[in-house]
Amino acid sequence: MRAEAPVAQPDVSELDLVKRCQNGDSGAYDELVVRYRTRVFGMIYNMVHNEQDAWDLAQDSFVKAWKSIPRFRGKSSFYTWLYRIVMNVTIDWLRKKQVKAGGTEFDDNVQLREIDPASRTVPRAEALPHQRMERREVRSRIDEAIAQLSPEHRAVILMKEIEDMQYHEIAEALGCSIGTVMSRLFYARKKLQNLLKDVYESV
Amino acid sequence: MKAFEEKWTAWIDDQLTGRELEEFLASLPDRATAEAEKQSAKKLGSFLREQAVALSNADFFSHQLRERLDRESAPARSARDAVQTGWWTIRRLLWGGITSLAVFALCTVMVLREKTPPSQSQYLTEILTYRVDPTVSPNATISMFQKKDDHVTVLWVEGLQSLPAEYASK
């Protein structure tokens, strides 16, 4: 998953690539895409749980980034800036989907009284005969659990746990405060722990 | 002042230090349970990382993206070119129009100047032309001019060979 994503901090070559992109060098943009395509796709996939949708949204995000790159001023790292675009595109899509469905897919109103900070879920081991099937099952459980989070909660948990981004980077990417990021992380973790504990404790 | 959720999150991520950490730990009703919860949260993180989905056909993704960028850039470029071409046409039209108007205005001024009749000449107005008796002065003419503003009347006599005696006496 992370083979193509060694860049965690902006370096000179990345800034050079960005500058070349700003001068219309599409070859430089190809290099940036290669660096981030897997991470972007993975992030979006975990948000939308559909490979084709994730593919399309990743393409949309990269197209939007290419169109917006002349306005990138380098105040944040490129990948934080890119993730902001990715998150905007994905969260907008999820919201529209939710409106179209006419239902409430997510439950944002998780209260402290519903999740005890010290709550524990008893592990429930499930042994499936076939390994492949087991992986599919695990993946399905993860998708179902993440699907129960709001887009904003999905975004913070994925950026923190999978992308290993810092609070301030997540805040920048989502356009919110660090406190909000930490609060969302709290609820997202608690919810996923309750929903997935039996899975990750048994794997 | 951080909310409990923020402190808990910071503690899970080992971001809580010093006095803040001590105060937080002291506030926990059951430290052992909280520690177990912290380990569980860390396991969740590792689990999610392990299960992360990889992009298959990564090169095809880039290829498709490149095609899409080219496709979307092409209409924008041609639209920009069209606008520029249109702009040049408009500029040419504009300059042509201005030049035509200038030429027209110049011609109009010149023609009007040519045709404008001398309004109320400041010179005398000829009101009478008279010929003298040809036997006395065959080429003589008498003209009378009048300038109304100054209330002046001029009698212009030309070609008179001799002044009749009765004129001189007057």
| pLDDT over 90 percentage in chain B | 22
Q: Which residue has the tokens 């001024």?
A: B109
Q: Is the model's pTM score more than 0.80?
A: no
ipTM of the complex: 0.70
Fold (topology level) of A106-203: Arc Repressor Mutant, subunit A (1.10.10)
Domain positions in chain A: 7-103, 106-203
| A200/B47 Cβ within 8 A | yes
Q: Verify whether the Cβ–Cβ distance B58 to A4 is below 8 Å.
A: yes
pLDDT tens digits along B11-32: 999 998 889 899 999 988 888 9
Q: What is the pLDDT of residue B152?
A: 81
Q: Which of A161, A187, A194, A203 should one mutate to test binding to chain B, selecting the residue with the greatest count of B CBs within 10 A?
A: A161
Smallest Cα distance from A28 to chain B, Å: 12
Q: Which residues of B touch A179 (CB under 8 A)?
A: 2-3, 6
Contacts of residue B15 in chain A, CB cutoff 8 Å? 167
pLDDT band at A171 (very low <50, low <70, confident <90, very high): very high
Confidence at residue A15, expressed as pLDDT on a 0 to 100 scale = 87
Closest-CA residue of B relative to A139 is: B51
- Contact indicator for A149, A106 with CB cutoff of 8 Å: yes
Position with higher pLDDT, A121 vs B139: B139
- Kindly tell me if the per-residue pLDDT of B1 is higher than 90: no
Segment A141-152, tens digit of pLDDT: 988 999 899 999
Residue range A121-140, pLDDT digits in tens: 333 344 445 677 888 888 88
The residues in A 67-106 lying below 8 A from B, measured between CB atoms, are none
Closest Cα in chain B, distance from residue A34 (Å):
7
Q: Please tell me the class of the A7-103 domain.
A: mainly alpha
Q: Three-state SS across chain A?
A: CCCCCCCCCCCHHHHHHHHHHHCCCHHHHHHHHHHHHHHHHHHHHHHHCCHHHHHHHHHHHHHHHHHHHHHCCCCCCHHHHHHHHHHHHHHHHHHHHHHHHCCCCCCCCCCCCCCCCCCCCCCCCCCCCCHHHHHHHHHHHHHHHHHCCCHHHHHHHHHHHCCCCCHHHHHHHHCCCHHHHHHHHHHHHHHHHHHHHHHHHHC
Average pLDDT over residues A174-193: 94
pLDDT recorded at residue A46: 87
Residue B126, classed as helix, strand or coil, is: strand
A117 has a pLDDT exceeding 90: no
Closest chain A residue by Cα to residue B64 = A59
Contact status of A56 with chain B (Cβ, < 8 Å)? no
Cross-chain residue pair A160–B62, CB shorter than 8 Å: no
Write out the two tokens for A57.
């949204």
Note whether B5 contacts A: Cβ–Cβ < 8 A: yes
End-to-end Cα separation, chain A, in angstroms: 19
**Contact state of B49 with A161 under an 8 Å Cβ cutoff:** yes
| CA of A146 vs chain B CAs: smallest distance (Å) | 10
